[in-house]
Amino acid sequence: MMKESKYLSRQADALGFIHWTEDEHRIWSDLYCRQIEVIRGRACPQFLSGLKLLDLPPDQIPQLPHVNSALEQATGWTTVQVPALINFSEFFRLLANRQFPVATFIRSREDFDYLQEPDIFHEVFGHCPLLTNPAFAHFTHTYGKLGLAASKEDRVILARLYWFTVEFGLVTSAEGLRIYGGGILSSPGETVYALESNQPLRLPLNPVEAMRTPYRIDIMQPLYYVLADFEQLFHLAQSDIMALVQQAKRLGLFVPRFPPKRQAS
């Protein structure tokens, strides 16, 4: 069962545009201006190229038709407006159709620094720039098709691969270790922590190991997996990922590197 969101997505008009309030635009502007500084020297070149291609406005929430125009020209992808939370089946169906789900709400000031749910800043700023990259777009499309056909049990294992690549992945570049995961790139604290803290472990990406690694969404990650280069993501998409899922299932989960979440009393 899906957890309920306290946020409601805004509805677009007949042309696909959303009439955001001035306060919502200011929240986007503050988030954008803060994060654009934090990612300098930390985001991977492919992300920065995509960000330039999308030409997101710094002072107002971008309209999805404008984002779609750039994405479609680059890789054939588009975004699609969704409610705040969607289930696994809908998520995979959209990715399988080269449609990236974007919840059309923006966090409140109260949740400015951290939000567990993906809002429009996380989705558009954090993820959409890399959907202009052919290798990343191909991997995400392949992942969607596999997830759509997978069993409920196998989807849970696939979710770990997505978490440690698309959401929280690092990559080796000519400039050194860089970030490509959207969950990191939309978070100022984790952007610095992921590269510069001596606390987390950073290991070369082994997809079976990633599928066996538990994670929590409400903490700084204790472990990051690192791509050798972006082409590794393309080659992974070309491999028999479901055979790797079965291998991970047989081997079982690793012991978590974090304490259990404290239950509310």
Q: What is the pLDDT of residues 115-171, one digit of tens each?
A: 888 999 999 999 999 999 999 999 999 999 999 999 999 999 999 999 999 999 999
User: Regarding beta strands 78-82 and 176-179, do their DSSP bridges make them parallel or antiparallel, or are they unpaired?
Assistant: unpaired
Q: Does the annotation list 25 as a binding residue?
A: no
Q: Where do the domains of the chain lie?
A: 22-251
Q: Does the annotation list 122 as a binding residue?
A: yes
- Which residue ranges of the chain lie beneath pLDDT 70? 1-3, 263-265
Angle 259-264-265 (CA atoms, 0-180°, nearest 5)?
A: 120
* Cβ neighbours around 66 below 10 Å, total: 15
Q: Please give the DSSP secondary-structure letter assigned to residue 150.
A: S
| CA 166 to the chain's CA centroid | 5
Question: CA–CA separation, 227 vs 168, rounded Å?
Answer: 11
- CATH entry 1.10.800.10 includes domain 22-251: yes
Q: Is the pTM of this model over 0.85?
A: yes
Closest CA to 32 of 65, 62, 73, 66: 62
Say which residues have a Cβ less than 8 Å from residue 36's Cβ, sequence separation at least 6.
58
